[in-house]
Amino acid sequence: MNKLKALLSKIDGKGYKSYKIIEGSYKFPEFVLKIVHVQPDAYAPPSACKILFDNNFHEEFFYNEERKVAFEDYLNRIFYYNAKKFSKKRGSGKSGIITILKPSQCVLKRSSVIVNEEIEIRFYMGLPSKGRKILGKEAKEMFFNDLIKIFDAIKSFNHKEALKHVKCIEDANYIRKNLPRHKLVAFIANGSILPRKSGVEDIAMPNAIPFESPTNLEIEFDCPNRHIKGMGIKEGITLIVGGAYHGKSTLLEAMEKGVYNHVPGDGREFVITREDAVKIRAEDGRYVANVDISSFISSLPNGIDTRNFSTENASGSTSQAANICEALEIGSRLLLIDEDTSATNLMLRDRRMQELVKKEKEPITPIIDMIPSLKKMGVSIIMVAGGIGEYFDVADLVIMMDCYKPYDVTKNAKKIAKNFVSHRIKEIPKEIRIRERQPIPNSIKIGGKIKAIDIGKLRLGNKIVDLSKVEQIVEVGQVKAIGDIIARLVNKFSKKCIREVLDEFDKKFLSILPPRGDYAEPRKYEVAFAINRIRGMKCKQRNT
C-alpha cells in the first residue's frame, strides 16, 4: 500500500508510459490489489486490475452452484453501481474511470467475480493524466479513496437483499430443471410484469397489467424457497394470437429471454423457458455456409443446390430456413417465431396463391406443412400469429392476449377452423433432414484483434460478424466471450462438427478463456450462430 503511494508520487508529472512500473501486487488492510495490465495511454481501454480478499460471508449465499452464480452476480452489481457512484472523471480520456463488466437484467455467469474460499473481483481503472502527463495525486485518490469506498460497500452489503437475490435464482433454476417432468416448454408466473419501460430500457413498465394464467393452464411449482403458480405451456405447437398492441410479441419476447434468470424486481423473475429455446426469424442479407435447407426449399434458379446451400446474401425465406436448420443442427427442439419478423412465403401459401403459382413452380414448402415432420423430431414451436388463422388446424394450444391478459381460446379456434374450412392444398413434404457440418478451419482464420464492438457486432480480425438479429444475446460480455471462444475452438473443427465441439464445452466456456474480467458466458446456440455468420467460412457436411 505504502509502496504504491511512493511509486505514484515518484511518477507524478512524468510521461504516461511511466505508469508501467506500478504493475504488481499491493497489500491493503482488507484486500490485496493486483494491477495486472497498465493501459498505454489515457485514451486506450482502462487498466486491468483485481482485488482478492478472504470469503468470510455466510455459506447460505453460495452453498450450491445456483446460489454461487447468483451471489457472484450480486457482488458484480454492487461493484458496478458503487463504481459509478464514487469514481469520477479526473483528466484526459478515460482518466478516473473505475468500472466492471456491466450487468443486464439477466443473471449470467461472468468472469468478473469469482467466489471461492477467496473472492476475486476483476475490474478496470482509467489511470489519470492530463494529456500525456501522469496525475499522481488524482491516481492516489482513485486507489486510496474511491476504490476503498467501493470495497466497503461490498463488505457491508444488505444481507437480506442478497439472500432474496440468491433464493430467486435458485427457484428459477428449479422450475427450469422441472419443466420436462411436466412436459412443459415454458412457464409464466402469475403476477409477472412483461412489458418493458421502453425499447431502450429493459426494466419493468410502471403500472403495467400483471400476468394472470387462465385457470385451465395454471400449474404450481413447489420450489426450494416458495410456491409459485402460473401458466404452463406444454410441448407441441402453441399460437399466441390477439389484436395489435395487446401483448402478443411482449409475451414471446419475455419467453425468448426466459432462457436466462432475471434479477428480483425485473418482473420476469419467473418467466422460465426451456434452455434450448431459440428465436427464429428472417434475416435478409445474412451469410449462409453449406446448410441443407432442401426440406423447406427444394430447388432454386440456376441449379443452386439447396442440399448444400451457401450464399453471401440470403433472402428472407432462405435465411429463415437456414436459421431453423442451424438451430436444429446444434440441438434446439424449441423454436420461437414471430409472424412479424418472418418470411411470409415460408410461413404460408394460401389457396389463391397455390392456384396462381402451381406447386411445380414453387420450391418452398411452408412451415405449416412441415409441422408433422418437426413434431416427429420432438420439436415444439411457440408462434405469434396475428393474421394467419390457417395455423389453427395444426395448433395444440391457442392463447389469445387481450389487454395483456391471456385466455385459452383453443376450443374456439378449433371450432372456427371446422366452420371455416381451409381450402388450401396441404403439401406432403419429405421428413425433415438435418446435416451436421464441420467448418474448414482455414476458411475462418482469425488474424488480428478480436473485439465486441457492441451487443450486435463482433470483430474477428478483419471480419465483422453481424449478430444484430441474434436476439437472445443480452450482454456485450457474451459477444466478447463468443469471439474468444471461436478463436480457441476453431482448430477442433478439423475432426469434429460444430455440435460436437460446442457440446464438449457447453456451460463451461469461461474455463477455456483467459483470466480476464470482461466475459459473460454465452449459450452454445449463440456461439454456433456467430460461427454460422462468419463470412467466407466453408463447411463439410455430414449426414445424421
CA distance 38 to 126: 9
Residue 41, SS3 per DSSP? coil
What is residue 311's predicted lDDT score, i.e. its pLDDT? Answer: 96
What is residue 403's predicted lDDT score, i.e. its pLDDT? Answer: 94
For every residue of 462-503, DSSP letters joined together read TEEEE-TT-TT---HHHHHHHHHHHHHHGGGGGTS-HHHHHH
**Residue that finishes a domain, picked among 157, 186, 209:** 157
Residue 320 lies in a domain: no
Candidates 304, 297, 298, 332; CA nearest to 318 is: 297
**Domain shared by 423 and 461, yes or no:** no
Q: What is the residue-averaged pLDDT of the chain?
A: 95
Mean pLDDT of all residues in 355-380:
93
CA distance 438 to 493: 6
The DSSP output letter for 396 is S
Amino acid at 12: D
CA distance 163 to 456: 34
Q: How many residues does the chain have?
A: 544
Q: Which domain holds residue 519?
A: 437-542
**Domain shared by 198 and 256, yes or no:** yes
**CB-CB contact of 459 with 508 (8 Å):** no
Can you tell me which residue has the cell 489511470?
Answer: 127
Which CATH number belongs to the domain containing residue 257 in this structure? Answer: 3.40.50.300
Residue 544 confidence class, pLDDT cut points 50, 70, 90: low
At residue 514, φ and ψ (nearest 5 deg) are -60, 155
Structurally, the chain folds into a number of domains equal to 3
CA distance 79 to 444: 37
CA distance 292 to 309: 6
**Residue that finishes a domain, picked among 96, 126, 157:** 157
Predicted model pTM: 0.95
What is residue 1's predicted lDDT score, i.e. its pLDDT? Answer: 72
**Domain shared by 410 and 535, yes or no:** no
CA distance 60 to 45: 37
Write the pLDDT tens digit of every residue in 103-125.
Answer: 999 999 999 999 999 999 999 99
Q: Is the pLDDT of residue 138 over 80?
A: yes
Cell of residue 336, nine digits: 420461437
Write the pLDDT tens digit of every residue in 169-193.
Answer: 999 999 999 999 999 999 999 999 9
**Domain shared by 240 and 366, yes or no:** yes
Write the pLDDT tens digit of every residue in 187-243.
Answer: 999 999 999 988 778 889 999 999 999 999 999 999 999 999 999 999 999 999 999
CA distance 233 to 245: 22
Q: How far is CA 339 from CA 168, 243, 279, 365, in A?
A: 33, 13, 12, 16
Beta strands in 210-286 (DSSP E): 218-222, 227-234, 237-241, 261-262, 271-273, 277-280
**Residue that finishes a domain, picked among 157, 188, 204:** 157
**Domain shared by 44 and 139, yes or no:** yes
The DSSP output letter for 360 is G
Mean pLDDT of all residues in 414-431:
89
Residue 447 confidence class, pLDDT cut points 50, 70, 90: confident
Residue 290 lies in a domain: no
Q: How far is CA 45 from CA 4, 124, 220, 274, 385, in A?
A: 22, 9, 48, 37, 46
**Domain shared by 369 and 511, yes or no:** no
Q: What percent of the chain has pLDDT over 90?
A: 91
Beta bridge mates, 475: none
